[in-house]
Amino acid sequence: MMLNQKRKLKRTVSLVRILVKYGFEELLIRSNIKSLLPSDYNDDGAAQEQLSLSVYERIRMALEELGPTYVKFGQAFSSREDLLPKEMIIELQKLQDKVEVEALDVKERIETELGIDPDDYFESVDPEPFASASISQVYKARLKDGALVVLKIKRTGIREVVASDMLIMKDVAKLLTSYSDLFRKINLNEVLAAFEKSIFQELSFLNELANMEKFARNFKGVKSIHLIKAYPELSNDNILCMEFADGVKITDQEAIVSFGLDPSAIASSGLDLYLVQVLEHGFFHADPHPGNLLVLKNGKIAFIDFGSMGSMVAGEKELLEDFISHFIEQDARRLIAIIKKMAIRFNISDEKRLEKDIHLFFNLLNSTSLQEIDVKEILSRFSAILNENEILMPDHLYLLVRGIVLIEGIGRALIPDLNIIESLKPYIVKIAIRKLSPENLKISGMKLLRTVTEALKTMPDDVHSVISKLNGGELKIIQEIEGLSLIKKLISRLMNRLVVAVLMSGLFIGSAILVMADKAPRFNGIPVLALFGFLISMVLGIVLFISWMTKDK
Residue 423: exposure state from Cβ atoms within 10 A (0-12, 13-18, ≥19) = middle
Query: Total domain count for the chain?
Result: 4
Return all residues near 400 (Cβ < 8 A) that are at least 6 apart. Answer: 278, 284, 310, 320
Structure confidence at residue 66 as a pLDDT band (50, 70, 90):
confident
Query: Same domain for 70 and 168?
Result: yes
- Coarse DSSP helix, strand, coil percentages of the chain, rounded to the nearest 5 percent: 65, 10, 25
CATH of residue 141: 3.30.200
Same domain, 398 and 255: yes
Q: Are 470 and 487 in contact (CB under 8 A)?
A: yes
User: Minimal CA–CA distance to 320: which of 219, 374, 393?
Assistant: 393
**What pLDDT is stored for residue 482 in this prediction?**
45
pLDDT of residue 4: 59
Q: Name the nearest CA neighbour of 125 among 100, 103, 108, 101.
A: 108
Give strand pairing partners of 230. Answer: 242
**Burial, 232: exposed, middle or buried (Cβ in 10 Å; 0-12, 13-18, 19+)?**
middle
**What is the structure's pLDDT at 365?**
76
Percent of the chain predicted with pLDDT > 90: 29
Tell me how many degrees the CA angle 502-506-511 measures, rounded to the nearest 5.
150
How does the average pLDDT of the chain come out, rounded?
A: 79
Residues 416 and 460 reside in one and the same domain: no
pLDDT over 80 (residue 508): no
The answer to whether residues 239 and 337 belong to one domain is no
Q: How confident is the model at residue 552 (pLDDT cuts 50, 70, 90)?
A: very low
Q: What are phi and psi of 149, to 5 degrees?
A: -135, 170
Residue 278's DSSP bridge partners are none
The mean per-residue pLDDT over the stretch 270-278 comes to 91
Shared domain check, 424 and 401:
yes
Q: Decide if pLDDT at 257 tops 50.
A: yes
Binning pLDDT at 50, 70 and 90, where does residue 478 land?
A: very low
pLDDT at 541 over 70: no
Query: Is the same domain home to 384 and 491?
Result: no
Domain extent for 119: 99-156+204-244
For the cut 70, the answer to whether the pLDDT of residue 435 exceeds it is: no
pLDDT bracket for residue 297 (50, 70, 90): very high
Lowest mean pLDDT among 72-76, 181-185, 205-209, 444-448: 444-448
Residues 121 and 81 placed together within one structural domain of the fold: no
Q: Identify the domain boundary among 378, 402, 435.
A: 435
Residue predicted with more confidence, 384 or 502: 384
> What is the average per-residue pLDDT within 5-33?
71
Of 172, 201, 230, the one marking the end of a domain is 201
Do residues 230 and 213 make contact, with C-beta atoms less than 8 angstroms apart? yes
Strands 131-132 and 122-125: unpaired
State which of 192, 227, 244 marks the end of a domain. 244
Asked if 254 and 394 sit in the same domain, the reply is yes
- Please indicate, yes or no, whether residues 331 and 447 belong to a single structural domain of this protein: no
From 378, 296, 395, 295, select the one nearest 343 (Cα to Cα). Answer: 395
pTM for the full model? 0.71
* Whether residues 38 and 108 fall in one domain: no
Same domain, 383 and 488: no
Highest averaged pLDDT of the listed ranges 97-101, 255-259, 323-327, 457-461 = 255-259
Q: Are 231 and 221 part of one and the same domain?
A: yes
Q: Which residues neighbour 233 within 8 Å (Cβ) at sequence distance 6 or greater?
A: none
Taking residues 143-147, what's their average pLDDT?
A: 96
DSSP conformation letters of 433-481: HHHTSHHHHHHHHHHHHHHHHHHHHHHHHHHHHHHHHHHHTHHHHHS-T
For residue 405, pLDDT over 90 is answered with no
The model's pLDDT over 302-349, given as tens digits with 9 standing for 90+, comes to 999 999 899 998 889 889 888 888 888 889 999 999 999 999 888 888
